[in-house]
Amino acid sequence: MTEIKKLIIPLTDYPHMPYWATLEEAIVLLNFSHESGFHTVLVFDEFYKLLGMLNWKEILRAINPKFKELSSEKIDIITSWDDNKFKMPIKDFMSPFDITVDAGDDILKVAYLLLQHDIDIIPVKESEKVLGVVRMHDIFHEITGLILQSKK
Amino acid sequence: MRRLLNIFRRKVAAPQPASDEERPFKERYLYFKKLLSENNAVLEIMADLEDKRSGEYIFDMNYIRTSCSKLVDSVQNIIVNLDKLSKGKYPDLYFAFAKINSKIEATLTNKTEIPVTDFTIPFDSVTKDMVNSVGGKNANLGEIKNKIGLPVPDGFCISAYAFKRFIEFNELKNKIILSSVDIVDMEGLNKISREAQNLIMQSQIPPDIESSISNAFSELSRKISSRAGSPTASVRSSAIHEDAKFTFAGQYKTALNVKADNVIENYKRVISSLFSPRAIFYYKSKGFEEEDMVMAVGVVEMIDAKASGVMYSRDPTDAEKNDIIINAVWGLGKYAVDGTVAPNVYIVSRDEPRTILEKTTPGQEVMLKCNPKEDVVEVEVPEEIRTTSCLTDDQIKSLADYAIVLEKHYDTPQDIEWAIDEKNNFFILQTRPLRILKEKPVKNIQAITKGYKIIINNGNIACKGVGAGKVFFIKKEEDLEKFPEGAVLVAKHTSPKFVTVMNKTSAIVADVGSPTGHMASLAREYNVPTILNTKIAMKTLEADKEITVDAINGNIYEGRIEELIEAGKRENPFKDTAVFKFLRALLNNIVPLNLIYPEDEKFSPDYCETFHDITRFAHEVAMREMFQVADSPNIKKREAVKIEVKIPLEIYVIDLDGGIKSDSKKITPDQILSMPMNALLRGMMDIEWPGPPPINVKGFLSVVASTAMQPHSEKLLWEPSFAIISREYMNFNIRLGYHIQTIEAYVGDNINDNYIRFLFKGGGASIDRRARRTKLIKEILERVDFDVKRTGDVLDARVTKYDKPNILKKLGILARMTAYTKQLDMTLFNDAMVDWYLKEFINKYYIAE
C-alpha cells in the first residue's frame, strides 16, 4: 500500500532537544510549538542518537504525579509545584523507546505499531539517521481518507 | 622599489631570535605589538597636531617639523612591521607611503615660489591668482578690473621677480640677515631695520628693471592722459602675503602723486618699508620665513579725489547685523584711514532695495589734495561744503552695491578703499578681507553657567567647542540614515562611520572612545564638538531631549544654553597666521580618513591618500593576520601546556610572552598571567556547562559519523582547543560540539589597542536551527556592544577601543555565552525559543554594568 515517506514531518521542523535540557526548557518549547500541533519533544544525545521522547502526558505527570490517580483531593498547582524539578534534565522524565520505522515501511505497519504501543508519534529512520516523525493524526487522515474515497 | 624596501627594512632591527619551532608565532606577535605601539604613536601625534589646528596654542615651525619627522618614522615602522607580520603581503603600502610622503616633503620644504615674469606687468593682465608675482593688493585690483568689472584706476605692477632680481643684483641677501632677530628686543629690531632700509636706499636698481619701469610708465601715461593732464601715480606696496589671508594693514609705505622722474626713487622707498621694524615684527611673529619677505609694487594712476573713504561690507563689530558701513572724507582717503578728520558715516542696509539707515556728517575743516606739481598738500575744505555730505544718496547706494558685489565675489566680508573724482567717477582703490571682531574669552564659560543643570560632567574632550541639539542615539549603523539635521549624536562607542553625519551633527557624545581614535580625528576635521568616554551618556541622556554639549569644559547640560553656544563660537587669533596655513596644508596629507569601511573594495593601499589611511589599513589587516595565526597548520605539533581546569574542554596554551608563570607541562588557571585568557577561563568556570562531561570519544567515532544530522559534513569536534597567549593577547581556537569558534583579544593600557574578535561557525543541527543560534549569539553580543556580522550559521563579531576592565568583563560574558550556547542549536525550534533563551541568559549570566 502506501509508503509513509509522504507523511513524514522532517526532524528540522519537529521539536527536539538534547537529554540534558531541563524540564523547564522542554515546557517552554512545547508551549512555543503548541500552535504547530506538536505535543512531543524528541530527545537526543550529543551525537544525535535518539534516546526517547517527552510528551504532554509525561510532563503533566512530572508536574504532579498525583494526576495519575483518580483523586478527590483538591490540588493547588502552584503550591504543590516543586521548583527543583524545573532544573532537572529531561532524561529523568522522558520515556525511552526504541520503536522506530523505516522510511520505506508501509502505512499499515506504522498504524499497527502506533496502536500496539499506544503512542501518538513514531520516529522514522533511514540507515540509522532520524529523518523525522509520523503522527497518529496524519495516519488517521490518510487511512480514513482512502476508505471514504473507495466508497464513492 | 627595491631600494625603497631596503631603506625600510633597515629601519627595523630583527626581533630576538627564538627557537626554530617558536619563531613564526613569537616573531609575528612581536611585530604585531610593535605595530600597535607605532599605531598609537601616530594617533597621538596626529591628535596633537590637530589640537594645534584648533588655534588655541602658539607653536612654531620647529614644532611642526619635529612632529612630522616623528610621524613619518612611525608610519614607516608600521608598514615595515606589517610587512614582516604578513610576510610581505602588502607591498603596495610602500608605494602609498612614498606617494604621501613626497607630498608632505614638498609642503615642508615649500618656499614662496617667485615665478619668473616680466619686471612690470600691466593691470590689464592681472588676476587674483597672480599673488606670487604681483603681490596681494595688485592681484586684487587686477581681479576687480578684469574679472569683476568694477572701476579701478589704471596702472602696472613692478613684479616680485623684479624685487628678487634687485636683491640678487645688489647681493642684499647676504647683507640683510633677519634670522637672528629677537622680535621682543625693540632696540635690536630698530637697528636691523635701519641697516636694511639704508642698504636698500643705497642700492642700485638694475638697468633692465629701470627701463622696464620707465616704459611701463610711458604706456600708462599714454592711456590715461585723456583723463588727467600730466599724469602722476601713487606708488604702493603690494607684498606677497598682503591682502590675501593676512592683513598687513598699514605696514608699508605708499607714495602719493608721484611724477615719472621720481618713480624709481619711490619704488626703493616702498620696498625698503618691507624692512620697517613693525613689518619685520609682523612677519616674524606670524611665522613667515625670510624667503617670504618679498614685495611687489603697484604704480597706480593718481586719482585726485573729490572725496574718498573706506567701506565695510558688514559691521565688523557685529557681523550678524545686516549693515554696510561707509566712511567718507573730502579729498584723499588718507585722512579717513588715519583718523585725521572725523569722516561722514553712512549706514546702508544690505537688503534690496538699499536704504540709508543712518547718515552722520560731522563737518570737515581740512582735507588732503594733490599738489599740482607733485606730492600732496593739506588744504581747507571750502566753506560751502564743510557740513554737507560728501556723497549724494544715490552715490551712497551705488557704492553699497559695490560692497555687495565684492563680498559675493570673494565670498567673505570685505574692507574696501574707494574714491570719487571731480567728474563723479567712482574708483575702487583696494579691497581685502574684513576682520570680524567677535572673539570672546572662553575661559569664563563656567561662570555663566550657574543655574543650569549639568547632566554629565566626565569624559575626554576630543574636539573643542560647544554644540546643542536634540539627543539622537546611534545604536546600529542603519540609525545613521535617519540622523536628523542639528541633533547631538549619542552612541555607546565611536565609529569612523559617523563621518557620514558629521555635517549634520551639532555635537558628538559617546560612552567610550579616545581622543586619539579615528573618529575623534574626523570630528576635529569637521569641527564637531565632541566628548568621549563619558561612560554614562547612553543611559543618562534621553532621546529627543535638548542638551548643550560644552566640549570646552567637558560638561553636558540639560536644555539649550544660548550663552554657552554663543561663547563657544569664536574666531581664532592664530588661525590666519602662516604657521597655521602651513599646518593646515600639511595636515591635508596626514589626517583626513578615506578608508572608512573595511569591507569596502576600496579599503586597500591603492586608496590610501593620507598617513591616517595607511595607519588604519595597517592596523586592520594586522589584526586579520594575527587572527589567522591560530589556523596555522603546524600549531598542534608545537609544545603546548595543558590547563587543568574543571570544564568540559581540553585546553592547551602556547605562551608567546609572559602569558604563564610556570615551566610545568600542566598548569592550573592560577598560573595563567595572560589577562584575556584569565578573564575567559574565569567566565567559563563561572557557569554550569550543559551537556555531558568530556569523555574519551575514541570509541564513539563510528557513532558520530552515522548519527549526526549531516554525517558527511558535520562531525562532532572533540579535539583539544589551543590558545596562543601573551600577557596582553589571546588567540583561542575553541573546538566545541559541532562548531568552531575563535576568540581573539588584546588588552593593554592604551584603549586604542584593545579589541575582541569573535568568530563562530557551524553546528550539528539543521541549518535553520544553527542560524537561530547565531541569531541568539548576535543578540547577546550586540547587548554588550559588539559590532556583529552574521550570515546563516557564520558570525563575525568585534568590539574595539574599550578600556581594560571593560574588555575583560566582555570576555567573561563571552565565556559564559560560549558555554551557554553549546549545542543549543538543537533546541532552537523557532524564533520564540531564541527570545526565551536570550532573556534567560541575560537574567542569569549577563552581569549588567
Same domain membership, residue B837 and residue B691: yes
Report CA-CA distances (Å) from B282 to B154, B255, B577.
30, 21, 10
What residue has cell string 565565556?
B815
Domain interval for residue B551:
445-570
Calpha distance B586→B579 (Å, rounded): 10
Per-residue confidence (pLDDT) for residue B632, from 0 to 100: 60
CATH (domain of B385): 3.30.470.20
Per-residue confidence (pLDDT) for residue B464, from 0 to 100: 83
Under DSSP, the state recorded for B480 is G
Task: Please write the tens of the pLDDT for every residue from A101-127.
Answer: 998 888 989 999 999 988 889 999 887
Helix (H, G, I), strand (E, B) or coil at B95: helix
Give the amino acid at B35.
L
B690 touches chain A (CB under 8 A): yes
**Nearest residue on chain B to A15, alpha-carbon basis:** B829
Per-residue confidence (pLDDT) for residue B627, from 0 to 100: 78
**Nearest residue on chain A to B836, alpha-carbon basis:** A28
Q: B692 and A48: CB-CB below 8 Å?
A: no
Same domain membership, residue B294 and residue B312: no
Same domain membership, residue B253 and residue B131: yes
Per-residue confidence (pLDDT) for residue B339, from 0 to 100: 62
Same domain membership, residue B291 and residue B151: yes
Dihedral pair phi/psi, residue B703, rounded to 5°: -60, -45
Report CA-CA distances (Å) from A119 to A55, A86, B13, B69, B790.
10, 25, 76, 82, 41
Report residue B408 as a C-alpha cell: 559675493
Point out the domain boundary residue: B267, B301, B335: B301
Same domain membership, residue B316 and residue B277: no
Q: Is residue B41 part of a domain?
A: yes
Q: Which residues contact B668 (CB under 8 A, 6 or more apart)?
A: B643, B644, B645
Q: What mean pLDDT, rounded, does chain A reach?
A: 85
Q: Which residues pair with B414 in a beta bridge?
A: B433
Same domain membership, residue B806 and residue B691: yes
Q: What string of H, E and C letters represents the secondary structure of B123-181?
A: HHHCCHHHHHHHHHHHHHHHHHHHHHCCCCCCEEEECHHHHHHHHHHCCCCCCCCCCCC
Calpha distance B454→B534 (Å, rounded): 13
B60 touches chain A (CB under 8 A): no
Q: What is the ipTM of this complex?
A: 0.89
Same domain membership, residue B534 and residue B485: yes
Report residue A24 as a C-alpha cell: 523547564
Contacts of A128 in chain B (CB under 8 A): 706-707
Domain boundaries, chain A: 4-151
Same domain membership, residue B384 and residue B354: yes
Q: Is residue B635 part of a domain?
A: no
CATH topology for A4-151? CBS-domain (3.10.580)
DSSP letter string over B764-795? SS-HHHHHHHHHHHHHHHHHTT-EEEEETTEE
Report residue B257 as a C-alpha cell: 602723486
**Nearest residue on chain A to B715, alpha-carbon basis:** A47
Per-residue confidence (pLDDT) for residue B823, from 0 to 100: 84
Closest by CA to B266, choosing from B221, B217, B334, B303, is B217
Helix (H, G, I), strand (E, B) or coil at B511: coil
Task: Please write the tens of the pLDDT for every residue from B106-131.
Answer: 777 666 678 889 999 999 999 888 88
Report the first-to-last Cα separation within chain B, whole angstroms.
Answer: 52
Same domain membership, residue B32 and residue B16: yes
Low-confidence ranges of chain B (pLDDT < 70): 1-23, 55-59, 109-112, 179-180, 182-186, 226-229, 241-251, 278, 281-290, 317-319, 338-340, 435-450, 569-578, 629-639, 692-718, 847-849
Per-residue confidence (pLDDT) for residue B12, from 0 to 100: 46
Helix (H) or strand (E) holding B267: helix B263-272
Closest by CA to B459, choosing from B551, B546, B544, is B551
Report residue B76 as a C-alpha cell: 614607516
Per-residue confidence (pLDDT) for residue B433, from 0 to 100: 79
Q: B833 and A29: CB-CB below 8 Å?
A: yes
Q: Which residues pair with B724 in a beta bridge?
A: B654, B731
Per-residue confidence (pLDDT) for residue B443, from 0 to 100: 43
Calpha distance A30→B545 (Å, rounded): 44
Report residue B673 CA to chain centroid gap: 40
Report CA-CA distances (Å) from B828 to B338, B714, B839.
87, 18, 14
A44–chain B nearest CA distance, Å: 9
Same domain membership, residue B14 and residue B129: no
Q: A46 and B830: CB-CB below 8 Å?
A: no
Per-residue confidence (pLDDT) for residue B442, from 0 to 100: 42
Q: Is residue B90 part of a domain?
A: yes
Q: Is residue B779 part of a domain?
A: yes
> Number of structural domains, chain B?
5
Report residue A76 as a C-alpha cell: 493547588
Per-residue confidence (pLDDT) for residue B171, from 0 to 100: 87
Per-residue confidence (pLDDT) for residue B710, from 0 to 100: 42
Same domain membership, residue B44 and residue B7: yes
CATH (domain of B458): 3.50.30.10
Per-residue confidence (pLDDT) for residue B438, from 0 to 100: 45
Q: Is residue B519 part of a domain?
A: yes
Q: What string of H, E and C letters represents the secondary structure of chain A?
A: CCEHHHHCEEHHHCCEEECCCEHHHHHHHHHHCHHHCCCEEEEECCCCCEEEEEEHHHHHHHHCHHHHCCCCCCCCHHHHCCHHHHCCEHHHCCEECCCCEECCCEHHHHHHHHHHHCCCEEEEEECCEEEEEEEHHHHHHHHHHHHHHHHC
Q: Is residue B421 part of a domain?
A: yes
Same domain membership, residue B145 and residue B83: no
What percent of chain A shows pLDDT beyond 70?
A: 89
Under DSSP, the state recorded for B290 is G
